[in-house]
Amino acid sequence: MGSNDLLKPAEREAHALLVAAQTQWDRPVPHCPDWDAAGLVRHMGSILSWMAAIVAVGERVSRHTLEPAPPEDPDELPSWYLAALTRAMEVLGSADPESPTWTFSSVGDQHLSWWCRRLAVEVATHRWDAERAVADGDQGGAPPQPIDGEVAAAGIEEFLVEFLPGLLAQEDVEGITGTLHLHALDGPVEWWIDLDDGGKAIRRHAKADTAIRGTRSDLLLWLNNRGPLQTLEVIGNHEILERWGQLTF
């Protein structure tokens, strides 16, 4: 799937996030403890506006100076959020994925395609957060829908290549050592990670201290400290699972 193709599921996820959030604006979001449902929509809408502004000029833009600012009145949130979504889809979808633009890539990827992936993964994860909040708040509610497999595969690669080395380098991280093998059961996604070598990740099948098997969606959710681990098959050293929660953005 190309980077622009990720925008199609991203748009669907963005609408689904709003649908879940609108069921109760002041509903707590367990995986985003700083926000309720309204706060989550304000955050995601601001991110959409920020991404569109950056890509439009190709340079870094301050998210806190963008207009219009997120409305305080929840009744005004849907129209503001959907306008931000429309603008983001127009700007990112109409440009060449290889066109240069500023990003915060840790590996120097300064192309628009980087933002297409970042948007798809972020909005899908927060849609899951919103639906998880509904399920937790409404006893017996339906569990959140899994993340689209292609988006999840892109998110796994993004996490391992862009974010994991920096997270492992944080001073307060302890005990996350050895090798890790991730194996998707629903698509051609397989990674071997050396946690003692700065999180060096290679696409291959190889024996590791810990092997984790599951769907692409469940693997991404686990990497981001979301989702029940019971959905995954774990082989080998389980200690890493207990320590993984230290790796937070």
pLDDT tens digits, 112-163? 999 999 999 999 999 999 999 999 887 667 899 999 999 999 999 999 999 9
Looking up tokens 């569109």 gives: 52
Rounded to 10 deg, the angle between the 216-223 and 112-137 helix axes is: 90
Q: Please tell me the predicted confidence (pLDDT) of residue 220.
A: 97
Whether CATH 3.30.1050.10 fits 155-246: yes
Domain with CATH 1.20.120.450 in the chain: 4-145
Q: CATH code for 4-145?
A: 1.20.120.450
Pull the structure tokens for residue 75: 């009744």
For the segment 189-217, the average pLDDT, to the nearest whole number, is 96
Average confidence score pLDDT of the chain: 94
**DSSP three-state, residue 194:** strand
pTM of the model: 0.95
Domain with CATH 3.30.1050.10 in the chain: 155-246
